[in-house]
Structure 1
Amino acid sequence: MLSEQSAATVRATLPAVGAAIGEISERFYAGLFAAHPDLLRDLFNRGNQAAGTQRQALAGSIAAFATHLVEHPEDRPDAMLTRIAHKHASLGIAPEQYEVVREHLFAAIADVLGEAVTPEVAAAWDEVYWLMANALIAIERRLYEESGFGEGGERGDAWREWEVVERVQETADVVSFRLRPLDDAPVRDFRAGQYVSVRTRLADGARQIRQYSLCGTPGSDVRRISVKRVSGGATTPEGEVSNHLHAHVEVGSVLELSEPYGDLVLDDVQSAPLLLASAGIGVTPIVAMLAHLAATGHGTPVTIVHADRSPADHALRTDHETYAAKLPDASVHLWYEREAPEYARTGLADLTDVPVAPGTRAYLCGPLPFMRAVRAQLIEKGVAPADVHYEVFGPDLWLARA
């Protein structure tokens, strides 16, 4: 891990770097996209760049990794690295791109911190960067190998064409697409909770990429995704890909999909009580998990928690209820902000009166405020922090919170 000399330097400079990491990440992306405009056009999410959320996520991950190295020199934060690597693999990131990132990141650090970046400081932070980058490259190589791309886990061709065979309007803002591959090659199975990247060409010629959870049943050659239209607001731009898919993708349309990735999966849960909590479109990976549990005859207690604006906004509601009913020991707890029926509660999700069995493993997906609140309540109820797993749609800002 980090050498003793570098650890001392990083520890001494971490406050200064941490205080400036937001400005560093902003200048990094500006320099990167000026030199490589194709990366913004065809790889990075332009909406997240405009909103600034990708800069926050980058700053949070770098600060968290460096802090972990100096506070826990005997190990590395594999959970964080694995989450990032799955996202990178779904985008088709190649090892050589890490050198490009390093070039512009260190230029930004030198630009912001100036004379404070001595050769010793630069060498220490270079060591931090390559520890993180090489760990990610190794994990991504393994993921590519498992996906069947190239020899020795090289990236190969990360994209495959799939045809839309069914379109279903789930709610006013959510549409589901069922897709089959255009070729006759085998379809690799996915694990409940995983996602695929979808690459689509927009009107200006850009090929933008977004991730969508697979909400069908594992074991099928058909992929099913549900897309929520992102309307935008005062501080967030309209979702250009989600709106394009809603407006232009019909039965017969062809989309490019990656292989399945994502680390929010059900591992070794045969004997553990489960709690599956979702809000809004976060229901999609949870529905896939419920489908898997129902298909495999899962018998331990399963607590299902969901929060939404109203029953009409509850996407995949029928699937949610149908799979829950197939489980022998399931309890369902619903909250709607308005128009709540008698079997649900009005307002935001509150687990105060929800029984949570000892040894419960929890899986969360939804907006960050929802997941943070649920996680805090679960820990208060005795759930081990290591047993609370989550999925964030978009940049992972969990580590970037104040």
Structure 2
Amino acid sequence: MLSEKSRPIIEATAPVVAERMPHITPEFYKRMFAARPDLMDGMFSRSSQLEGTQPQALSNSIVIFATYILNNPDKYPDEVLSRVAHKHTSLGLLEDEYPTVYKYLFEAIAADLGDACTPEVAEAWSEVYWLMANALIKIEKGLYAQQANDVMRAPFKLVSRKETGDQVVDLTFEPADDTAMTEAKAGQYISLFTQAEDGLLQPRQYTLLPSEKNQRRVAIKLDPNGEMTKRHFALQEGDVVDISNPYGDITLGGFGDDGSGPLYLFSAGIGVTPMLAFLSELVDQNSQREVVVVHSSSSKDAWPLREEMEELVGKLANGKLISFLGDGSGDFEGRVDVSKLDVPSDASVYLCGPLGFMKDTRSALVDAGVPGVQIQYEIFGPDQWMLRDTARAENK
């Protein structure tokens, strides 16, 4: 709970800090990596820094947290904290690094705000930081404790490589040592650690696909401009990489989904991956739930893992697959048009795909009467959106 001493200061300065935070966070990372270059080796994504997505995600989380505790004095934005904590644990972040982040973040804040960063302002925002940090540390300790092992990552050997869709590779890994494996929940992801061309160890997150026991299976879309996906796409059977334990809180029956009403799964391109995991779980449960899967691709040939998705939907008692394909070979031509689907207001919805696709689809669903609290999403990489608690508060 924010102290009464700090509350009026945060209320007065929050608009200014929110406005400046997108400028502060890049400077923070610059300072931190200059002092601690080791953090870029196996912890932070270099491409996320260059693209600005990681600084944006950090600035969003701090502003959302401060605003939330001002408006809700007796609670925290648990869903946003959960999402951040799962990302942190998938990268192996430990409690010891929170003072490091604090030091360089507040140096950047002081440099940016200048004389406006009085001792009173610095103290109040320090309180906000440590309230958020301590909440994250508690969640992260719990997530680590749930794992079947005490390592941050373990070696896995690639045992199967298949190409599917348009420049997508389906990779299956098995343990390369005797580290105990945590059983993953449908919708969770792992971090895959490989070396860049200059030898720097870089992590990337990928949603886990249905697989046999003691396997980790992912699908990777080639990004010609991506620093690491080109290396992942080139992996061959027998190659060994490091993989984290499974993390992620976008699972069936999660926030806003009680498991009883209609379920709508919207995906575009490689966004099929969590939907396949959900469908496999529903098939294993012999679910009688109404499940409508809506997928968007440029064509059937470009649709990753299409046959597997069709097979899984076909095994559901009340499953239906609707396609929006750019070449007109699907149920509908062009991009997803929610107005053609008659989505009921009591539906639980999951989204995965490019951010623009998810924003457009979510807006259309809300306009159609689906409360925002019932719409979950998964973003590959740093979450620049963070709508979950906002949607819950607005209930639209």
**Given the two structures, how large is their TM-score scaled by the length of structure 1?**
0.92
Give the Å deviation of 1:71.
1.6
In the alignment, is the contact (CA less than 8 A) between 2:192 and 2:205 conserved in 1?
Answer: yes
In the alignment, is the contact (CA less than 8 A) between 2:166 and 2:304 conserved in 1?
Answer: no
The answer to whether the aligner puts 1:226 opposite 2:214 as a matched pair is no
In the alignment, is the contact (CA less than 8 A) between 1:308 and 1:335 conserved in 2?
Answer: yes
Secondary structure of the residue aligned to 1:128 is helix
Structure 1 segments of 4+ aligned residues over 4 angstroms from their partners: none
2:247 is matched with which residue? Answer: 261
* CA displacement, residues 257-280 of structure 1 (integer Å, 9 cap, x when unaligned): 111100110016542210111111
| Further displaced range: 39-48 or 279-288 | 39-48
1:66 is matched with which residue? Answer: 66
Residue identity in the other structure for 1:290: L
1:252 is matched with which residue? Answer: 238
Alignment partner for residue 315 of structure 2, among 315, 326, 343? 326
Give the 5 Å matches for 1:20-99: 20-99=20-99
* Separation in structure 2 between the aligned mates of residue 272 and residue 377 of structure 1, nearest angstrom: 20
1:352 is matched with which residue? Answer: 339
2:348 is matched with which residue? Answer: 361
* Separation in structure 2 between the aligned mates of residue 288 and residue 57 of structure 1, nearest angstrom: 26
Give the 5 Å matches for 1:110-259: 110-149=110-149, 156-217=150-211, 220-231=213-224, 238-247=225-234, 249-259=235-245
Secondary structure of the residue aligned to 1:311 is coil
1:234 is matched with which residue? Answer: none
1:288 is matched with which residue? Answer: 277
Alignment partner for residue 381 of structure 1, among 368, 372, 379? 368
2:392 is matched with which residue? Answer: none
Secondary structure of the residue aligned to 1:5 is coil
Give the Å deviation of 1:93.
0.2
Secondary structure of the residue aligned to 1:297 is coil
Give the Å deviation of 1:313.
1.5
Give the Å deviation of 1:327.
0.8
Secondary structure of the residue aligned to 1:165 is strand
* CA displacement, residues 222-261 of structure 1 (integer Å, 9 cap, x when unaligned): 2110111112xxxxxx2111101112x1111111111110
The change in CA–CA distance for 1:125 and 1:292 in structure 2 (over 3 A counts) is: same
Give the Å deviation of 1:185.
4.4
* Separation in structure 2 between the aligned mates of residue 385 and residue 89 of structure 1, nearest angstrom: 27
Residue identity in the other structure for 2:246: P
* Separation in structure 2 between the aligned mates of residue 108 and residue 184 of structure 1, nearest angstrom: 44
* Separation in structure 2 between the aligned mates of residue 304 and residue 399 of structure 1, nearest angstrom: 24
In the alignment, is the contact (CA less than 8 A) between 2:49 and 2:55 conserved in 1?
Answer: yes
* Separation in structure 2 between the aligned mates of residue 129 and residue 270 of structure 1, nearest angstrom: 36
Secondary structure of the residue aligned to 1:240 is coil
Secondary structure of the residue aligned to 2:228 is helix
In the alignment, is the contact (CA less than 8 A) between 2:345 and 2:371 conserved in 1?
Answer: no
* Separation in structure 1 between the aligned mates of residue 268 and residue 289 of structure 2, nearest angstrom: 23
* CA displacement, residues 184-222 of structure 1 (integer Å, 9 cap, x when unaligned): 4443211110000001122311110000000114x6222
**Given the two structures, how large is their TM-score scaled by the length of structure 2?**
0.94
Q: Structure 2, unaligned stretches of length 5 or more?
A: 388-396
Alignment partner for residue 398 of structure 1, among 373, 376, 385? 385
| Further displaced range: 191-200 or 360-369 | 360-369
| Further displaced range: 107-116 or 311-320 | 311-320
In the alignment, is the contact (CA less than 8 A) between 1:270 and 1:298 conserved in 2?
Answer: no
Secondary structure of the residue aligned to 1:271 is coil
In the alignment, is the contact (CA less than 8 A) between 2:193 and 2:203 conserved in 1?
Answer: yes
In the alignment, is the contact (CA less than 8 A) between 1:28 and 1:104 conserved in 2?
Answer: yes
> How much is the aligned-residue C-alpha RMSD, in angstroms?
1.5
1:340 is matched with which residue? Answer: 328
Give the Å deviation of 1:345.
1.4
Secondary structure of the residue aligned to 2:351 is strand
Give the Å deviation of 1:399.
4.0
Give the Å deviation of 1:41.
3.3
In the alignment, is the contact (CA less than 8 A) between 1:336 and 1:347 conserved in 2?
Answer: yes
* CA displacement, residues 118-175 of structure 1 (integer Å, 9 cap, x when unaligned): 11111100000001100110000000000134xxxxxx42111111110001134110
Give the Å deviation of 1:383.
2.3
In the alignment, is the contact (CA less than 8 A) between 1:311 and 1:340 conserved in 2?
Answer: no
Q: How many residues align?
A: 384
The answer to whether the aligner puts 1:297 opposite 2:297 as a matched pair is no
Secondary structure of the residue aligned to 1:178 is strand
Secondary structure of the residue aligned to 2:301 is helix
* Separation in structure 2 between the aligned mates of residue 399 and residue 211 of structure 1, nearest angstrom: 18
* Separation in structure 2 between the aligned mates of residue 188 and residue 246 of structure 1, nearest angstrom: 25
* Separation in structure 1 between the aligned mates of residue 176 and residue 106 of structure 2, nearest angstrom: 43
Q: Structure 1, unaligned stretches of length 5 or more?
A: 150-155, 232-237
In the alignment, is the contact (CA less than 8 A) between 2:163 and 2:170 conserved in 1?
Answer: yes
Residue identity in the other structure for 1:16: V
Secondary structure of the residue aligned to 2:95 is coil
Give the Å deviation of 1:355.
2.5
Give the Å deviation of 1:358.
4.3
